[in-house]
Amino acid sequence: MTRAVVFPFDSFGSPGTSAGAMAMGDALREMRADFHRETVPTRASSWAEDLKIREVAFDTPREIANFRRTGRSMARKPLANGEPLVWLSGNHLGVLPLLDLAAADTDTLVIQADAHLDIHAFGDSVETLSHGNYLRRLRWQPDGLPRLIHLGHRDLLQKPDDIETFIPTTISAEEMAGDINGTRGRLAAMAAEHTKIVIDIDMDVFDEGIVPGMARPVPCGLAPLQLWHVLKALDPDRVVALALSEYDPDRDDRDRGLAVLAWFMERFLLWKSGG
């Protein structure tokens, strides 16, 4: 069974991205419907036949307050069973339930691609949980040391000591652009020690000129195929989940950004299913 969860959570950052999660869910449903309408065999049969899509709602204060627990309960079984999981969130905070489960499981590594380092504690940052500081709140088992590799940031403000406490390994967009195959090799070597890998893509890791529709753009982002080239150095059998977040349809241009996100979903599912 292949599972997708549409998780339109956009409280505490990037309002409007809940519509983005639903748009990504609709794009995935459309790909599945295309597969069922097709009369000749295609590679999509390897993932589309047994794809199950669930969608949750965050319409009430109670649903919003319980988002972390709700999300964990939806992700726990597929992660434990090794069923491919696509997690379509509103803002990046909506990926926290997956990260909670990864932090609790000593076998799991998180590979996070994001323009930002989400440990913000600037003068104007909120101290309560937000989409910009949640990495400070994760409780990594067994020793508090994060199993997280960060790719593609363009941060120019945060000091190395602060970063290392919460994100032991960062490979910035600058470093990636300078040596993409070196990045690929480094990532594969670091990931080899782990039996389960969660890929967490905040779409603002990409360049807004190529992939419009991100809630918080930062200049000088990656091209989609630069990131994919690096990620496919991983062993697909070990990758258990792909999360996508921070898509705001109001900022998109003729659905060009959505099309890239849909390509990533399809490419990931095909890669996972060996199709």
**Residues in touch with Mn ion (CB under 5 A):** 114-116, 202, 204
Q: Judged by CB, which is closer to Mn ion: 105, or 246?
A: 246
Please state, as a whole number, how many other Cβ atoms lie within 10 Å of the Cβ of residue 248.
25
Q: Judged by CB, which is closer to Mn ion: 108, or 130?
A: 130
Q: Judged by CB, which is closer to Mn ion: 32, or 116?
A: 116
Q: Judged by CB, which is closer to Mn ion: 2, or 91?
A: 91
Q: Judged by CB, which is closer to Mn ion: 119, or 265?
A: 119
Instruction: Say how far apart CA 235 and CA 169 lie, in whole Å.
Output: 19
Minimum distance of Mn ion from residue 178's CB (angstroms): 21
Instruction: Say how far apart CA 32 and CA 49 lie, in whole Å.
Output: 8
Minimum distance of Mn ion from residue 273's CB (angstroms): 29
Minimum distance of Mn ion from residue 110's CB (angstroms): 15
Minimum distance of Mn ion from residue 274's CB (angstroms): 31
Minimum distance of Mn ion from residue 147's CB (angstroms): 20
Residue pair 71/21 in contact by the 8 Å Cβ criterion: no
What does the block give as tokens for 240? 């258990």
Q: Judged by CB, which is closer to Mn ion: 183, or 245?
A: 245
Minimum distance of Mn ion from residue 215's CB (angstroms): 8
Distant-in-sequence, close-in-space partners of 225: CB < 8 Å, separation ≥ 6: none
